[in-house]
Structure 1
């Protein structure tokens, strides 16, 4: 019973934010602010829309050990032929009593907004030592020299919240073309755990559209219209969600510091921006949603999927799900089915959901609420915690979980180390060897589902965690598809080498050069049916009925599992 409870707790954490992953929940249609950078020649930036932030922070240096001066020189920022050029240059420059060897530009938008979508079409420098960024800060940030600081700067960073739409050059351990998005909050800042990223081709030569979609429920990042990371805390607090107040845009290139060493032959690098566009929904809406339906989708031992759909003239529908575990608030475009996976559920338990639909203006569906119910299944899976490593090492360790869902197996790993940042996870299959990128659920928890499995087959997987400055690879673990938590997961990093004649009858005669401390036999539902700690080389199985079993052999801390047929 205790193992069941622990397994449910782990799976609940792993799925806590999955229901909002990789979707744009609210569509914003009305262009409220933009700069197309239209010009016939070389011009200064539009001073009605942009502010040069050039004041150095206290101490004489910009943050993160950066080495540049930001200037308002036209050689560092200008509009030319329909494009904004932000240029980082190698040149001595003295300002505010300090001389530095590099110059660049840092622009603040003079427009701030609450909720909406940002689209920025740009090509970015990929030179070693450069850190191009498209990002946002709370309008209330207390940062000397920022455009809004004099009137609104009442709040320190990161309490103001920071949304990094694009960063490049600070993830040297990632593949070429990797672009990163991040969020900094009081609960996670500096080397934040709230990070997502994707690969883009030809960053320095091709234009890409970098987007951020910000609703009251979640923040989603997109590359060329494709969502790749969604931030959506299940329970929003001021600590993890300071994103309920206006923010403004920043465009800049930083030099050195966490971007690494600047080569001696560096001369200059440019970020070229085609346009910046901000969308919101501005129309007054007085019509309530129509055609609201709610049904039950996939059900597991710890989750229930709810399928929601409704129509509204505004283009978006908001849903509120109330049940014994709390409330989930979400939204989706009108007429598009929303899948909400409710986490943190107990196995073999009936849940009743009361679901309401409204629009973002607060107009309610006429027949609210719709009530649906479903019963979770029993647990079929295994879990564990370990610090064993094939390569590298773990300061604390990791959780792992394997759950059978029909003919699929959901594999989830959570890194427990707190001294590793910028973590990504690659699932390793042992034989034949293969690598698969895992999906980030939240923090340092990653998951991947392998499909088309056969009940009773053994699968063997581990995970490579890559992070700033290195990598650590977990032990390989074997899992028998369809078995449950009583069996747990067998480490095969140092397998126990043993053999026996299979099929068996009356007795199991185990041959092994290792000292066998314990032998266990499980049926195919994962129930322990025989255990021997005394005579571990000749095991009496006369009380076992015919069938297929799992034979677990232990030697010290090592364990191996093999199938066994009893005649």
Structure 2
């Protein structure tokens, strides 16, 4: 590649890096290994190994139909770009004849924790499965580069990190690329996956990234995070990612990628560079200025406000209460809001909070102990903009309704108007599960849970996926059988109108006497109560955003969503 283009690439990478740093937990900045694929001809054998040995049985996994070869026609460097070519050709090797050939490259470099950036243009031909991914260095797999020396563990106990794969999600929109995690707790048709839409996939280069820390693994497309894997419990079953992994680049044919058309001739994946970043310097500096306080409180949640500074750029927080624990992280010097969910109304909780950095240095004033009491129950539906992943520009509405005795209808509506191609998935908190929701209309999605136990508490969130990203709501706790009092009261008051959106004042008009007006913020805290001059409510001191207004008239009440701008 020409020097000018290299300079442009470095600038773009730096801009992407700046964007990435705001979305991942640990920032890795030291380039420790790379291949820029300069020149022409065969790949650099110091960096890459051709994996060609067929697994026992004579076929590659997942019903694939290709031979992997070390032929120059299947993998080569041309004008500063690595090209992996899957071809239709009769190819015989190891006593087996296949109708397609391709290449599968193993990196001769393995590492623990860091960031991978791969700038690539991938094929979108039917029946092709291009993949950029990683496997544990300790995998037992004949023909893999490290297996003969380091192989001690079978798949999936070695762990697999799929940075990018395409062609195996035919039910998704065009341009959809997926990232996935395979562990003993979830493999094959794993539940641990996320995806996003890439514009002009197949014709443009995109940067596919993976940021791997002791806390979590985050996947990014062109510097924008779209999926994070962070199991609550990290053990050998859920987190085999505390040991070295190596990179793989390949195109598979057929199998789970679907039928290969009869007119297929060849498909090419082009890779401009592969770069791995880590932090080389040893960190001996502990977090300083560690503080913790109580924020907003609802009937089922308590907000903890945490802050600390550390030279690493990231601070880990360990929160313990009763027999429960939360492990999270925040940016150095930036207040971290942690919502502790699924609490019991009118109950006192004690929290013990410790701070450390990713290398294990502990804050000197560990642990800080806080006490707080939850409010009374306020209902099972409403409006919020709280996110457990990503962010919402406006927010969403939510509703849980028991149907009969043991079914629960869950309804979420995305209020953001800046999202395109929205789909929704219902997330169960424990054990984690992801289920597609039905689109009722617009951006309203529903799903009915069956076989629930009356009186049991269930905890669910919703992932909204859309073009170039995703946002996940906070988890909501609901008791099966609750009557959704906010929306199902028999004495509902509807005979009033009001200005919406409003700025300094909300004007309310009604032919009936209005006794009291209450306004709640999105996490259930009452911010205004007014029992006089109830036709004009002063909201000039409220921040811009969405609120719930409750209007009382004699023995009736009405609830409306309001926007303060």
The bucket for the TM-score relative to the shorter chain is 0.5 to 0.7
What are the within-5 Å matches in structure 2 for residues 247-326 of structure 1? 247-326=245-324
Q: Is the 8 A contact 1:320 1:357 kept in 2?
A: yes
Other-structure match for 1:487: 483
Other-structure match for 2:57: 59
Change (3 A) 1:187 1:384: farther
Structure-1 separation of matches of 2:203 and 2:403: 45
Match of 1:425 among 421, 424, 437: 437
Other-structure match for 1:207: 205
Structure-2 separation of matches of 1:338 and 1:401: 29
Other-structure match for 2:236: 238
Q: Is the 8 A contact 1:51 1:107 kept in 2?
A: yes
Other-structure match for 1:435: 443
Change (3 A) 1:124 1:485: same
Q: Is the 8 A contact 1:380 1:485 kept in 2?
A: no
Change (3 A) 1:385 1:164: farther
2:99 paired with 1:101: yes
Change (3 A) 1:348 1:309: same
Change (3 A) 1:94 1:175: same
Other-structure match for 2:10: none
Write out per-residue CA displacement over residues 5-61 of structure 1, whole angstroms, 9 at most, x where no aligned residue. xxxxxxxxxxxxxxxxx941111121111111122xx22111111111110111111
Q: State the Cα distance separating 1:198 from its structure 2 match.
A: 0.7
Structure-1 separation of matches of 2:404 and 2:95: 51
What are the within-5 Å matches in structure 2 for residues 393-432 of structure 1? 400=410, 414=426, 423-425=435-437, 427-428=439-440
User: Could you say what secondary structure the match of 1:361 adopts?
Assistant: coil
Q: State the Cα distance separating 1:107 from its structure 2 match.
A: 0.7
Change (3 A) 1:164 1:342: same
What are the within-5 Å matches in structure 2 for residues 4-403 of structure 1? 23-39=23-39, 42-382=40-380, 383=400, 400=410
Q: Is the 8 A contact 1:438 1:446 kept in 2?
A: no
Structure-2 separation of matches of 1:342 and 1:352: 12
Q: State the Cα distance separating 1:303 from its structure 2 match.
A: 2.7
Q: What TM-score does the superposition give when structure 1 sets the normalisation length?
A: 0.67
Moved more, 182-191 or 296-305: 296-305
Change (3 A) 1:269 1:402: closer
Structure-1 separation of matches of 2:97 and 2:56: 15
Q: What TM-score does the superposition give when structure 2 sets the normalisation length?
A: 0.68
User: Could you say what secondary structure the match of 2:276 adopts?
Assistant: strand
Structure-2 separation of matches of 1:87 and 1:400: 46
Q: Is the 8 A contact 2:351 2:370 kept in 1?
A: yes
Q: Is the 8 A contact 1:380 1:484 kept in 2?
A: no
User: Could you say what secondary structure the match of 2:28 adopts?
Assistant: coil
What are the within-5 Å matches in structure 2 for residues 520-531 of structure 1? none
Q: Is the 8 A contact 1:425 1:446 kept in 2?
A: no
Give the number of aligned pairs: 420
Q: State the Cα distance separating 1:246 from its structure 2 match.
A: 1.2
Structure 1 spans left out of the alignment, 5+ residues: 1-21, 389-395, 404-411, 450-482, 493-501, 504-524, 526-544, 551-567
What are the within-5 Å matches in structure 2 for residues 547-558 of structure 1? 547-548=555-556
User: Could you say what secondary structure the match of 1:145 adopts?
Assistant: coil
Write out per-residue CA displacement over residues 314-335 of structure 1, whole angstroms, 9 at most, x where no aligned residue. 2222222222243322333323
Other-structure match for 1:561: none
Structure with the greater relative contact order (CA < 8 A, sep ≥ 6): 1 or 2?
A: 1
Other-structure match for 1:538: none
User: Could you say what secondary structure the match of 1:43 adopts?
Assistant: coil
Structure-2 separation of matches of 1:422 and 1:43: 45
Change (3 A) 1:387 1:98: farther
2:443 paired with 1:447: no
Q: Is the 8 A contact 2:411 2:445 kept in 1?
A: no
Change (3 A) 1:275 1:344: same
